[in-house]
Amino acid sequence: MSELKKVGLDGFNTIFAWSKSNADGTICFGDVDEDNVKNAVSLTNNYDPRHYIKLGSTGGRKGRTTCEAPSGMHLKLGQDLEREGGALTIQVENGNLEIDVQNGDLNVKAKNITFNATGSNNEDGNFVVDANQKVQIDASIINVFGTQKVEISCNNLLRLMGDSQVDFVSGICNMISYSSRKGKKGINQTNAAGADI
């Protein structure tokens, strides 16, 4: 005879579960999903079971709120707030904030946009943009400043163009052509620093 496992109130004992439903929707306290995860509270659309909000209490979704909306979700906030008020705040104490747009675009519109990547050591505090095709920046004034190094490199064509003026200001300036790097040196070219690079 197999040994019976003890089931407590924090397990899958649903003797105290409560459910109320009509033709439109169902609200439950203490229901269990098909993958044996118990929900403290679940709110479900009876016309479409994919439309729900659930508060998991056991298993891999313990302490996690799961929301699914097949036709999307709309939030309208801040009608009575001043401009500097925090209408929508997302605070992640530990872990990552991940936005996964699988078949669409991520569009952000705001009066000002600020990214601030701060790290506690020399490895953190990075801002990375990885694009498969094109990165385009259009603005009236563009400033790029690096306290240690700024490097721009290209495999094919690198073009710098100023319609009115181009200024190069440097303490030490080395300009080397491709023929100097790979071919024979010019008649007036010496073995100065950087000439053999």
pLDDT tens track for 13-36: 667 789 999 999 999 999 888 888
Cβ atoms of 174 and 168 closer than 8 Å: no
What digits encode the pLDDT tens for the residues 131-183?
999 999 999 999 999 999 999 988 888 899 999 999 999 988 888 777 666 66
Higher per-residue pLDDT: 176 or 55? 55
- Rounded to 5 degrees, φ, ψ at 48 are -145, 105
3-state SS, residue 67: strand
Higher per-residue pLDDT: 102 or 186? 102
pLDDT tier, 1 (very low <50, low <70, confident <90, very high otherwise): very low
Q: What pLDDT sits at residue 65?
A: 95
Selection from 115, 114, 110 nearest residue 78 by Cα: 110
Higher per-residue pLDDT: 77 or 121? 77
- How far is 97 from 192, CA to CA, in rounded Å? 51
- Ramachandran class of 30: left when φ > 0, alpha when ψ lies in -120 to 50, beta otherwise: left
